[in-house]
Structure 1
């Protein structure tokens, strides 16, 4: 049995049999705070059957905006909590596909389709759950350039072959499509002896990506600019596990990427200006692209070439007016956050700091 198969079997056992619910987790790494969700998402969460939410193991809220009519893929959907939130947001004309490798979790997700569709008032199901592995999305039938959005909630860390995961994500995304995911990241590389520990693996710690290796991985795949939406430190709250991991620091990050072929590895200045039109229904007053780009409705904002592409050449384009193009280059773009954003220091988040 190869290492990937061994890893999958360990995780199937952990999530299928050892964990009976969120209460059985040994750390707080896979416990997201529902109050960190936007109000409109919390309202949907309140409609979801408790049997689904009681076995939720996410570390964030990777639910994007402007989803009406979209095709969305949820990697590692588990019992389907986020998938059902997405199903409500895409509407009856949209589609959500959830992929998971654990049969026990998929049984819960699939079994609640009729009741959840009734709660949403949909005449036909707009959601489909499939067994599969996130390193191989071809086997469950996810075609090239077929998805508007891909999300994942604390699952990519579980894969032993993360480059394969990201290759598959960018294969299935449409040009201009969005990847939004929450996951556990580490401040240093995880030592080899810890990587195979079944508890650390199941608790989303031993597979956490070192943030700089994540940046290098994306750059190697041709996507040099990712955006950070939120970051929060993870406190393990388990003395035995804390002793195992030593001084390694972990964070829960929510990250946004786009399948765009014109992104540069640093922010470049082309004199472009972006204006948010206030037309995303959930956010009439502002649109938060990342941790230091909050677009106020109607207010012109100077942006680098990468940011201009993200709000112009994606599904968000209908909600923005962008002035200027890339015909004239003015040098590097100063994208340092202001003192009123996230502090005086710039934390690098891919191409745009």
Structure 2
């Protein structure tokens, strides 16, 4: 049990024999004026989960610099959390919907201990994965890495990077277990110790990966722009950063940004959508394309008291590293060849391509499809006349729109592609 599970009055009744605290945590306790005389612990019913008093455990993380934030997060995920049951909000245990059959089947094969140490807010498993080289930022105990290991196959490779030894130890323990279960001759997964702000130092190659994923981790970094810069450097041209994270409906207040537990719970470090859009543009990525969004319902009364009427959402989006010279707009046809998606392929909230159905796309989408791993799954008639452009044009959402606005105005899904020809509608 860590100190953050007790009220101030309860902490006065306890000593170091009853609290599993590291030295940094005891320094905080001492600053609060709590003595360490030996007392007995009373009134703690077995299995009872106390509501944490976050104000007492708040430290000036940002005042102490980004290194302190990293140290606090590292401690939280390495020593405080032992399983997803220890989380104090549902932010880092959101269960995604609409998984494909292959993903569901692979997930069912992941070792139980790896599953229990999963802290994610979305599904970071994009489509068209066979043979891909994938990097997972903040891979933790390895759940998403092992999912991806099964889906990329023996000709693909997955690299996970994490700064928490305790998590890495769990992940590495099951490499042989999963490779044998998946029928691979040898493991196609490796786990590296390192920091997502310093991929170069961890030995991550430049222009190497087809896909970079991250599941509720970017918000934990004190330097998110650098994270994006490092990801951009590691991706091939045409590669993408496909990640889930937590966003706030307004800038997080300084008081909340100084709370170490709320950092660990993925709230204090949440960006606004505008922040992400600006960072992506500055780094060189295409505008973030919204894949999915879901509200986060915070019910813990202590946290509700702290965050007030702030709203948080879980968002999955994709950012592409595109060439400077864009493809012209025009007509594309999805061939129905992506695994698990024979009838249609969804790219974002505004782009669903029906198989064998001409669809009109703008220059950015044409470039994404032609310069990425999706190129072999489409035929292209860009730059010329398009019957699709003249035909059925269902309501088209702005796929870069603020996800809070999207949730408020989400329309009924259309069966058409981005702009599909009449015979497909």
Normalising by the residue count of structure 1, what TM-score does the alignment of the two structures yield?
Answer: 0.90
Tell me what 2:344 maps to: 286
What is the RMSD computed on CA atoms of the aligned residues?
Answer: 2.2
Tell me what 2:68 maps to: 6
TM-fit CA distance, 1:38: 2.2
Q: 8 Å contact 1:276–1:321 — kept in the other structure?
A: yes
Query: Residue 28 in 1 paired to residue 86 in 2?
Result: no
Query: Residue 101 in 1 paired to residue 159 in 2?
Result: no
TM-fit CA distance, 1:34: 4.7
Tell me what 2:111 maps to: 49
Instruction: In structure 2, list runs of 5 or more residues that go unmatched.
Output: 1-62, 407-425
Tell me what 2:264 maps to: 202
Measure the CA separation in 2 of the matches of 1:36 and 1:224.
Answer: 26
Tell me what 1:319 maps to: 377
Counterparts of 1:241-320 in structure 2 under 5 Å? Answer: 241-262=303-324, 271-320=329-378
Measure the CA separation in 2 of the matches of 1:263 and 1:232.
Answer: 35
Measure the CA separation in 1 of the matches of 2:342 and 2:176.
Answer: 33
Counterparts of 1:102-117 in structure 2 under 5 Å? Answer: 102-117=164-179
Measure the CA separation in 1 of the matches of 2:133 and 2:175.
Answer: 17
Counterparts of 1:66-145 in structure 2 under 5 Å? Answer: 66-145=128-207
Measure the CA separation in 2 of the matches of 1:324 and 1:176.
Answer: 18
Tell me what 1:216 maps to: 278
Q: 8 Å contact 1:70–1:149 — kept in the other structure?
A: yes
TM-fit CA distance, 1:72: 0.4
Q: What are the superposed Cα offsets for residues 20-57 of structure 1, whole Å, 9 maximum, x if unpaired?
A: 10001000011121544222211100000000000100
Measure the CA separation in 2 of the matches of 1:306 and 1:42.
Answer: 31
Q: 8 Å contact 1:34–1:42 — kept in the other structure?
A: no
Q: 8 Å contact 1:60–1:183 — kept in the other structure?
A: yes
Q: 8 Å contact 2:288–2:400 — kept in the other structure?
A: no
Q: 8 Å contact 2:286–2:319 — kept in the other structure?
A: no
Measure the CA separation in 1 of the matches of 2:118 and 2:214.
Answer: 13
Measure the CA separation in 2 of the matches of 1:224 and 1:33.
Answer: 28
Measure the CA separation in 1 of the matches of 2:173 and 2:255.
Answer: 39
Instruction: In structure 1, list runs of 5 or more residues that go unmatched.
Output: none
Tell me what 1:38 maps to: 100
Q: 8 Å contact 1:69–1:95 — kept in the other structure?
A: yes
Q: What are the superposed Cα offsets for residues 302-345 of structure 1, whole Å, 9 maximum, x if unpaired?
A: 111001111111110100112123x99xxxx9xxx945x77xxx
Q: 8 Å contact 2:141–2:167 — kept in the other structure?
A: yes
Q: What are the superposed Cα offsets for residues 220-275 of structure 1, whole Å, 9 maximum, x if unpaired?
A: 222342211000011112111011011211110000111003488xxx9x550111
Count the aligned residue pairs.
336
Q: 8 Å contact 1:263–1:306 — kept in the other structure?
A: no
